[in-house]
Amino acid sequence: MTDYLGLLRLDGRVALVTGGGAGIGRATCQALAQAGAHVAVADIDQAAADRVAQEIGRGEAHRLDVADEAEVAAVVDAIVDRHRRIDVLVNNAGLGGRIATIELPTERWRQVHAVNLDGSFFCARAVGRHMLAAGRGAVVNLASIMGLVGGGHYPNLAYHSAKGALVNFTRALACEWAAAGVRVNAVAPTFARTRLTEPLLADAEMAERLLRDTPMGRFVEPEEVAAAILFLASDAARMITGVTLPVDGGWTAR
Ligand SMILES: NC(=O)c1ccc[n+]([C@@H]2O[C@H](COP(=O)([O-])OP(=O)(O)OC[C@H]3O[C@@H](n4cnc5c(N)ncnc54)[C@H](O)[C@@H]3O)[C@@H](O)[C@H]2O)c1
């Protein structure tokens, strides 16, 4: 009989998690490490990456700005030099920008796309080379419910645009790499209480409205997003590619 729980194990595999120093990225590092993976925790905040690598025990920390393609190439080279493989990439580093579109500075528009979208491309391209050569690998992108719907109760155009693009990035790359054995999926979480959403959710009236629109009536925990990422990264999802899995308590089902 198939060892179904064993399919979730990642023993002997190497994972790279961007933005792994906090929030959903940190929980993802914990989940992948608990499943047996060696985790490269990469974050623009070196101290945060160090803390998480230490916390999970089986990992290493890298200072990385995903928007800098030379840095991405150097970190991926360092991981492959050391381990001769990368099996899992989680494109988690991201930031938003709650601001009316007519006030949105070009610089902020570019920055939000640079981190969420360009960063995912730089990492997928650099890691993909090794995954394609190995004939196996799993990429998981952090989209958002805001990549699946247009209405978020407040203006955040650059974020909607970048996360929406990531949904089709996920499909297109999945099609391109499927025959080579490399899967590409995404998760689309609803709101989690992290540093990213702190200013938004500190607005009690806003938090109340968001909860009213969530059929399950609560925010998602970072650990619940990490569990979905672990599933998509593992062989339990070995026939799944190109999907964006909502982890949203029913937000997009309405
Ligand atoms: N929190 C939510 O409600 C929510 C909902 C949907 C999607 N997401 C997505 O999940 C991902 C993680 O969000 P979070 O809420 O955990 O955020 P967070 O702000 O708590 O953590 C993000 C981490 O990424 C790091 N980071 C920021 N810019 C970086 C860069 N250029 N290069 C490398 N690392 C960088 C930060 O230092 C931080 O450690 C993001 O892509 C976000 O858009 C979050």
Given a contact cutoff of 8 angstroms between Cβ atoms, the answer to whether 237 and 185 are in contact is: yes
Atom from ligand 1 closest to the CA of residue 145: 6
Provide the strand spans (E) within the chain.
14-18, 38-43, 59-63, 88-91, 137-142, 182-189, 244-247
In this prediction, residue 152 carries a pLDDT of 74
Strands 59-63 and 88-91, sheet pairing: unpaired
Instruction: Report the CATH number that the domain containing residue 199 is assigned in CATH.
Output: 3.40.50.720
Q: Is residue 254 part of a domain?
A: no
Separation of 213 CA from ligand 1 center, angstroms? 23
pLDDT category at 153 given cuts 50, 70, 90 is: confident
Separation of 5 CA from ligand 1 center, angstroms? 29
pLDDT, averaged across the chain = 97
Q: Is residue 158 part of a domain?
A: yes
Residue nearest to atom 7 of ligand 1 (CA): 144
Atom from ligand 1 closest to the CA of residue 65: 32
CA distance 239 to 227: 18
Q: Is residue 89 part of a domain?
A: yes
Given a contact cutoff of 8 angstroms between Cβ atoms, the answer to whether 91 and 15 are in contact is: no
Looking at residue 79, what DSSP letter applies? Answer: H
Instruction: Give the structural domain span for 147.
Output: 5-248
Q: Is residue 109 part of a domain?
A: yes
Quick check: 106 pLDDT over 80?
A: yes
State pLDDT tens for residues 17-38: 999 999 999 999 999 999 999 9
Q: Count up the domains in the chain and report the number.
A: 1
Residue 180: exposed, middle, or buried by beta-carbon count in 10 A (0-12, 13-18, 19+)? middle
Quick check: 249 pLDDT over 80?
A: yes
In this prediction, residue 108 carries a pLDDT of 97
- Residue environment code for 89-117, b if the CB has 16+ CB neighbours within 10 A, otherwise e: bbbbbbbbbbbeeeebeeeebebbbbbbb
State pLDDT tens for residues 159-197: 999 999 999 999 999 999 999 999 999 999 999 999 999
Quick check: 81 pLDDT over 80?
A: yes
Task: State yes or no: is 159 an active-site residue.
Answer: yes
Q: What does 92-154 look like in DSSP terms, one character per residue?
A: -------B-GGG--HHHHHHHHIIIIIHHHHHHHHHHHHHHHHT-EEEEEE--GGGT-S--SS
In this prediction, residue 58 carries a pLDDT of 84
In this prediction, residue 71 carries a pLDDT of 98
Separation of 197 CA from ligand 1 center, angstroms? 9
6-10's contacts with Cβ under 8 Å and 24+ in sequence apart are 7/234, 7/235, 7/236, 7/238, 8/35, 8/230, 8/231, 8/234, 8/235, 8/236, 9/35, 9/36, 9/234, 10/35, 10/36, 10/37, 10/87, 10/88, 10/230, 10/233, 10/234
- Residue 220's DSSP bridge partners are 192
Given a contact cutoff of 8 angstroms between Cβ atoms, the answer to whether 23 and 194 are in contact is: yes
State pLDDT tens for residues 61-72: 999 999 999 999
Beta-carbon contacts of 184 under 8 Å, excluding residues fewer than 6 positions away, are 124, 138, 139, 141, 170, 173, 174, 177, 241, 242
Quick check: 97 pLDDT over 80?
A: no
Query: Quick one: average pLDDT of 77-96?
Result: 97
Ligand 1, CB cutoff 6 Å, lining residues: 18-19, 21-25, 43-45, 48, 64-67, 92-95, 115, 142, 144, 189, 191-192, 194-197
In this prediction, residue 122 carries a pLDDT of 99
Atom from ligand 1 closest to the CA of residue 45: 37
Which of 50, 194, 221, 245 best tests ligand 1's pocket when mutated (most atoms within 8 Å of CB)? 194
- Catalytic residue (one of 122, 159, 177, 251): 159
Q: Is residue 16 part of a domain?
A: yes
Which of 76, 123, 196 best tests ligand 1's pocket when mutated (most atoms within 8 Å of CB)? 196
% of the chain exceeding 90 in pLDDT: 96
